Structure formats: C-alpha cells, structure tokens
Copies of this chain bind each other. A is one copy, B any other.
Amino acid sequence: MKRFNRPLDIRHGHVDLTHGSGGRAMAQLVSELFAPAFANDYLAQGNDQAIVPRPAGRLALATDSHVISPLFFPGGDIGSLAVHGTVNDLAMGGAQPLYLTAGFILEEGLPLATLHAIVQSMAAAARAAGVSIVTGDTKVVERGHGDGVFISTTGVGVVADGVQLSGDAARAGDVILVSGTLGDHGMAVMSQRENLGFASDIVSDSAALHTLVAALLQAAGLGLRLLRDPTRGGLATTLNEIAQQSGVGMQLHESAIPVRPAVRAACEFLGLDPLYVANEGKLIAICAPEQAAAALAAMRAHPLGADAAVIGEVVADSHQFVRVKTDFGGERLLDWLSGEMLPRIC
C-alpha cells in the first residue's frame, strides 16, 4: 500500500509539530529519514521495543543526552558525538558495546536537511563502531522551546567475565596514563563558536574508544584498575572524581601531559586551562605499576593512542588532592572545576 502522498522533502522541508504527533507525518519521518539510515534487523521489528538475543555476560548500561551547540563542529557533529559519547561510557566499564537507543527532541523549524545530515553521520558512526541503533523516539517542541536538536542515546554492552573496572579501584603506587592530547574537543567547539580564525586547525578528537580499551585489557589484564574518559570538566575534574571514589591522591607531571600547541594557544587566548577542557576521544587509564609499560605500549600501537603518555601516579593522601608538578619545579593543586567555562560542549 502507498502510505504517503508524496515523499518527505528532505532538501527543502522543515520539522513541524506534526512530526511529533504520533500520526502520519511522524510515521513518514521515521520511515523515510531515520529507518533507512539506521537499518538493521532489530529496528526492522517495528515495535515500540526492540527484542535482542540473550547476551553472553553482565550488561553495561550508559546514557547521555547531547545538547552541543553548534550542531556541527570541526571533526564531528551532534550525531557522531551522540554515538561516541555513549559507546565510550560503556567502554570505560570494559564493555563491548552492542546496541544503542536514540531519542530525538526536535525544535519546530529545524531544516530536514540538517536533521538528515546529523542522522547520516550518526548512522556512519554507529556502523564504524559496530553498534546497532535498535529503537528510538522522536518528539517535537515548539519553536523557542528547544534548540534545533537534542539527542539522547543509551548504550547496552556486555562485560566479559573477570573484567572489573571501577572508579574506586585506584591504589597508591598505581600509574596514571592518558591516551593522547587533551583539550582538542572543547577547543574545536569553542574556536567554532567564538570564530577564532587562528585556531581553525583544531579538530575534535570525538571517537569511539572501545577497540583501544580492548587492546588495553589484553595488554594489562587484571593490572588495569579503571578507565574513565575525561569529558565535561576535563582531566582535572575526572581525576578528582577518581581520587574521591578511591580515597587516594594523585601526583601529575605537567611536562608529561600532552597538549597540542594550537590547543594551548587557543586556551591561553581565552583564559582557559586545557586540563579542564572536555575531550571526546581520550581516556585516562589507571594501572598497576607492573603492567604500566605494557599498557602504554598497547595504546601507542593503536591509532587512537599514538600520543599516549604516563602523566603521573596515584599517592596516599587523606585529602584526596590532585597535584601537578609544574615545569618550573613548583606545584599547584588541580581542584574540581567550579563554575562553567564551556557550556553545551557535549
């Protein structure tokens, strides 16, 4: 049966309230824009839920709502970010990501061409990461009550027996590693937002990290204590979270922390500290000292870990402070981020 009188006008059309009605217009948006992009057998079930096979292990569940502005930035867009952000939250638990769900909150007036580009990018990112977008939801809010598009993704992954990574597992003497340069995502978005011409070569690091994690688990085994991706609040805030969860302190070496010169320059121009700037394709690994060299080598052998570095060590500290030894022999305290430097960075 012919369901719709004419095809969706993806080139010139706009989202309107009927696209969230549950009726014919929504069915057309789903069947002509979302379904072809995300196509897989689970989504094709066409029910209000997706039924997937019984998984072979514990489940990891993670969710992220994405409100980044602007929607497109150097190195990605809200669609690819919505895949990478949630895949990475699963990966940090040592999980193999399997399925994503996607909820879209669209603002009336959003060009369908914009939505289409975002959905295509999201589908490509999911394919590249080997995850299926198995079910979703679309809502529309009136003009001025949203901001183009927000995307909430939830990920389901499976954790192999024996894998046990948690923020409370760091111990004094452990080694702190990062998988690469810091601050790229936040400064790519800021340079776009603030129109910083000189920073136009900064590209977001947005990427799915689960294969890097698999390599790390392989190399460091039970010596790998925990992983976390330093997104909002950056390296400094994430390390403070871990310090608090594990009841330890951290001692970093500033000269060992990799930051691209262009990112450093843009941060200086804007009065920001790159250690507080968000990343979307980097991880922090905390590792027993015996396995640290193997962990570092495994990361450096992976395309997403080429600039990996040992940046410090876990220390006993009842104050749970994160300290950094500066290049000039001094020391400063890296506190939690207070206030908000970079709103809507993810």
Show the binding face of A for B, using Cβ within 8 Å: 1, 3, 16-18, 20-27, 45-67, 69, 89-90, 92-93, 95, 99, 101-105, 134-142, 144-147, 150, 152, 154-157, 159, 165-168, 228-229, 231-234, 237, 241, 244-245, 278, 318-320, 336-341, 343-344, 346
Which of A59, A60, A105, A142 has the most chain B CB atoms inside 10 A of its CB? A59
Q: What is the distance, in angstroms, from A50's C-beta to the closest C-beta of chain B? A: 5
Give every chain B residue within 8 A of A234 (Cβ-Cβ): 22
**Closest residue on chain B to residue A233 by CB atoms:** B22
Give every chain B residue within 8 A of A95 (Cβ-Cβ): 49, 51
Q: What is the distance, in angstroms, from A87's C-beta to the closest C-beta of chain B? A: 11
Is the Cβ of A62 less than 8 Å from the Cβ of B45? no
Q: What is the distance, in angstroms, from A242's C-beta to the closest C-beta of chain B? A: 10
Given A21-B232, A46-B167, A146-B147, 7 new contacts (CB under 8 A)? A18-B339, A21-B341, A49-B60, A65-B152, A139-B150, A140-B343, A141-B147
Is the Cβ of A47 less than 8 Å from the Cβ of B167? yes
Is the Cβ of B67 less than 8 Å from the Cβ of A141? yes
**Closest residue on chain B to residue A98 by CB atoms:** B59
Is the Cβ of B65 less than 8 Å from the Cβ of A137? yes
- With contacts A24-B338, A244-B3 taken as known, whether A134 is within 8 angstroms of B61 at the C-beta atoms is yes
Contact of A49 among B22, B92, B336, B339 (CB under 8 A): B92
Is the Cβ of B24 less than 8 Å from the Cβ of A92? no
* A38 and B331 alpha carbons, distance in the complex (Å): 40
Is the Cβ of B93 less than 8 Å from the Cβ of A46? no
- With contacts A150-B105, A228-B48, A229-B48 taken as known, whether A64 is within 8 angstroms of B137 at the C-beta atoms is yes
Q: What is the distance, in angstroms, from A57's C-beta to the closest C-beta of chain B? A: 6
* A136 and B86 alpha carbons, distance in the complex (Å): 11
Give every chain B residue within 8 A of A343 (Cβ-Cβ): 17, 20-21, 140, 142
* A45 and B168 alpha carbons, distance in the complex (Å): 9
Is the Cβ of B152 less than 8 Å from the Cβ of A63? yes
Is the Cβ of A145 less than 8 Å from the Cβ of B142? no
Give every chain B residue within 8 A of A150 (Cβ-Cβ): 105, 139, 141, 150
Is the Cβ of B338 less than 8 Å from the Cβ of A62? no
- With contacts A101-B154, A140-B343, A278-B22 taken as known, whether A51 is within 8 angstroms of B46 at the C-beta atoms is no
Give every chain B residue within 8 A of A99 (Cβ-Cβ): 61
Can you list 22 A-B pairs with a CB-CB distance of less than 8 A? A3-B244, A16-B340, A17-B340, A17-B343, A21-B337, A21-B343, A22-B278, A23-B233, A23-B339, A26-B232, A26-B233, A46-B168, A47-B166, A49-B93, A51-B59, A51-B93, A59-B59, A63-B137, A64-B137, A139-B344, A141-B147, A145-B147
Q: What is the distance, in angstroms, from A156's C-beta to the closest C-beta of chain B? A: 6
Give every chain B residue within 8 A of A3 (Cβ-Cβ): 244
Closest 10 CB pairs of A and B: A22-B232, A23-B337, A22-B233, A154-B154, A152-B152, A65-B103, A63-B101, A49-B62, A21-B340, A145-B147
